[in-house]
Structure 1
Amino acid sequence: MADEYFMLVCDDVPHDVVLTDPGVRVMDVVQVVRRLTGLSLWRSKVLTTQSPTVILAGVPQEDAVAAVSALRDVGAQAGAREQPEPGFLKH
């Protein structure tokens, strides 16, 4: 019997939140990253300074849009993108 893979049809495709540039208010961005991720202050700062980086992975679209908005409000450049389709689903 051949292996078959099925993708469940969902209302919401998972999104990633990507921080591309923290801007000049780095510590404000670090605080937002800390609030969004639940990471320690030190880890949030490391994550922020390693941009471009994925801040949140696999979140619903509404959460991704809210996170991007919070990051942009403090001067960062960020965006949300749909997670790519798994390789085994591509034809």
Structure 2
Amino acid sequence: MADEYFLLVCDDVPHDVVLTDPGVRVMDVVRVVRRLTGLSLWRGKVLATRVPAVVLARVPEEGAMAAVSALRDARARAETRARPEPDFPKH
């Protein structure tokens, strides 16, 4: 049987949290990135300084909005991006 994907009405479209600019308080942003991802200090700093960077991938919308809010509180620019729906096979 072929693998098929069915999008249900109750499915939450996954979102990515994208850091677009760490701002001037980079270490504050690194702390937030570490808290969100669990990365080490070194990897958190690398992620925060190489923008645009996907901080979190495929999270529910509420979690993505909370992460963006935390990054913005640290004076960074961040946004959520909805993941596109998968291509459905044509029969």
TM-score, normalisation: structure 1 = 0.88
How far off its partner does 1:89 sit? 2.1
Gap change, CA 1:90 and 1:51, over 3 Å in 2: farther
- Residue type of the alignment partner of 2:44: S
How far off its partner does 1:85 sit? 2.0
4+ residue segments displaced more than 4 Å? none
Give the RMSD, CA atoms, in angstroms: 1.8
The answer as to 2:84 corresponding to 1:84 is: yes
Correspondence for 1:62: 62
Partners of 1:90 and 1:31 lie apart in 2 by 43
Q: 1:1-91 maps to which residues of 2 (within 5 A)?
A: 3=2, 5-9=4-8, 10-86=10-86, 88-89=87-88
Aligned residues: 89
> Which segments of 5 or more consecutive residues in structure 1 lack a partner in the other structure?
none
How far off its partner does 1:90 sit? 7.2
